[in-house]
Amino acid sequence: MNAVLITVETLLAAMFLVSGTGHLVGRSLLSTPVGRLGFTPAGRRGVGALEGMAGAALLAGTWLPAPELGVAAAVSLFLLAGGALSYHHWTQDNVLRCMPAATVTVVALVDASVRFLL
């Protein structure tokens, strides 16, 4: 596998693991404060669990001999990030608040596409 792809996937997985852990414990470090978007504490923990599981699966798919797991994790991260982007749009956030979700959505889509083609 390409070193650039491994680096991007490791950083993407680490970002989602940190963000998911932050949502689970109530300290959002890399993400929008979800309380402002109308999430309940249980909803916040649910999003954090999904982020953490997808990040861990991407990390496992990158470093273990399980390419199918990596493809599935990259697609799930794309769907999760796309959902975040659409939710930001739905709550009428300005462009600056939507940019992190848009950037992660594009990176996850490119990652899933490259993984699928390899």
- The model's pLDDT over 35-62, given as tens digits with 9 standing for 90+, comes to 677 778 888 888 889 989 999 999 998 8
Predicted confidence at residue 29, as pLDDT, reads 57
CA distance 46 to 29: 16
CA distance 44 to 87: 14
Q: Delimit the domains of the chain by residue range.
A: 3-117
Predicted confidence at residue 89, as pLDDT, reads 85
Residues 6+ apart with CB under 8 A from 52: 16, 17, 20, 21, 24
| Residue 108: Cβ within 10 Å count | 26
- Work out the mean pLDDT of the chain and round it to a whole number: 86
Residues of the chain scoring pLDDT < 50? none
Is residue 8 a contact partner of residue 109, using CB atoms and an 8 Å limit?
no
Is residue 73 a contact partner of residue 54, using CB atoms and an 8 Å limit?
yes
Predicted confidence at residue 31, as pLDDT, reads 53
